[in-house]
C-alpha cells in the first residue's frame, strides 16, 4: 500500500494564531514542531496499517515548515516553495490513498479556525465547475483526477464538516473546535495526535470502501479576487478570461493545469496585493 500525506498548518492541533503560521512570528518554531507531530501520527498509523511507502508534502505557505529532523524517518518528505502541484506535489496514480492533515475550512466559513482559501486575503471565493470550493474540494478533485481516494481529513471541526459535505462518508478527525477565526477550544496535542493516529488506522482499514472524488471534465476554475488589480493582472495569462471586474476564469481538460495555474495566480496576486490591495 502506497500512501500520500498532504500537511497544511492552520488545522494542526494546538494552533490558533496567524503568528504561529508565519516564519519569524511568535510561536512559529513550536508550531512547526506541532505540525510535524500531527504528520507523524498519520505517517506512523499508515505504516502500522501496512503501508510500504509514505510520501509527505509540506503544503503550508513556503513549504518549509515540517521539521525534516523530526519527521518519521521511514517516509519521503517533499518540501520547499513553488512546487508545481503545491499541496498535491508528489501525488500520482500509483498511490492507494491520500490523507489530508492540518486542513482548514474555506474562506468565509463561520467558526472556521483561520479560514481562508489558498491565500490569506487575496481570494474572496474560489469556484470549481461553478461550485464554491475550498482547498479540501480543490485537492480532493486533484486526487480524484488521478484515481486516488481521499481517505482522511484532519483539522478543525469546520474543516471536517466541509470534508463530509464534499466527500460524503470520509473519515474525519477534529483536533479543535472553532470559537471564531482566531480562537478555538483545543484538544491538547498529545491526545489530538492519538486521535489522528486512530482515525488514520480506521480510514486505511476501510480503504476498500473509499472512492475517488471525481469532477467531470472540462474543469473550470473561477476566482473572485479581493481587488480589480489582481484580477486584471491574472487575466493576462494565456487562456484566462475576465468574467467580471474581480473574477477570472480558466477552462481545461487537464486538472494539473488547474492546480498549476492557481499556483501561478497566487504568485501574481501576492505581488500585486502587497502593493495595493487596500484600494480594492
Which residues are catalytic, by number?
116
Residues with Cβ < 8 Å from 271, sequence gap 6 or more? none
Cα-Cα-Cα-Cα dihedral sign, residues 168, 86, 131, 106: positive
Query: How wide is the angle at C-alpha 149 spanned by C-alphas 97 and 44, nearest 5°?
Result: 25
Torsion of CA 88, 118, 82, 228, to 10 degrees: 140
CA gap 231, 47 in Å, rounded:
44
Return the DSSP state at 235.
T
Q: In 3D, which of 143, 54, 159 has the Cα closest to residue 101?
A: 159
CA gap 34, 151 in Å, rounded:
22
Alpha helices in 1-115 (DSSP H): 28-48
Amino acid at each position: 500500500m502506497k500512501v500520500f500525506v498532504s500537511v497544511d498548518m492552520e488545522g494542526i492541533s494546538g494552533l490558533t494564531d496567524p503568528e504561529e503560521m508565519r516564519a519569524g512570528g511568535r510561536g512559529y518554531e513550536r508550531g512547526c514542531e506541532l505540525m510535524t507531530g500531527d504528520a507523524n501520527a498519520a505517517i506512523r498509523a499508515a505504516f502500522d496499517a501496512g503501508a510500504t511507502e509514505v510520501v509527505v508534502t509540506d503544503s503550508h505557505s513556503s513549504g518549509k515548515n515540517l521539521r525534516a529532523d523530526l519527521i518519521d524517518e521511514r517516509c519521503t518528505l517533499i518540501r520547499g516553495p513553488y512546487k508545481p502541484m503545491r499541496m498535491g506535489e508528489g501525488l500520482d496514480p500509483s498511490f492507494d490513498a491520500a490523507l489530508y492533515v492540518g486542513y482548514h475550512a474555506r474562506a468565509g466559513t463561520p467558526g472556521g479556525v483561520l479560514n481562508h482559501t489558498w491565500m490569506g486575503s487575496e481570494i474572496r471565493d474560489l469556484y470549481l465547475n461553478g461550485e464554491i470550493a475550498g482547498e479540501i474540494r480543490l485537492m480532493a478533485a486533484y486526487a480524484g483526477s488521478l484515481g486516488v481516494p481521499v481517505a482522511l481529513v484532519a483539522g478543525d471541526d469546520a474543516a471536517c464538516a466541509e470534508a463530509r459535505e464534499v466527500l460524503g462518508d470520509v473519515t474525519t478527525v477534529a483536533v479543535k473546535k472553532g470559537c471564531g477565526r482566531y480562537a478555538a477550544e483545543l484538544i491538547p496535542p498529545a491526545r489530538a495526535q492519538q486521535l489522528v493516529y486512530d482515525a488514520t488506522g480506521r480510514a486505511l482499514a476501510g480503504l476498500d470502501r473509499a472512492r475517488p472524488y471525481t469532477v467531470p471534465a472540462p474543469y473550470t476554475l473561477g476566482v473572485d479576487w479581493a481587488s480589480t488589480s489582481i484580477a486584471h493582472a491574472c487575466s493576462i495569462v494565456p487562456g484566462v478570461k475576465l468574467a467580471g471586474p474581480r473574477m477570472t476564469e480558466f477552462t481545461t481538460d487537464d486538472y494539473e493545469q488547474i492546480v498549476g495555474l492557481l499556483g501561478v495566480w497566487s504568485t501574481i496576486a501576492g505581488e500585486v496585493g502587497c502593493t495595493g490591495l487596500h484600494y480594492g
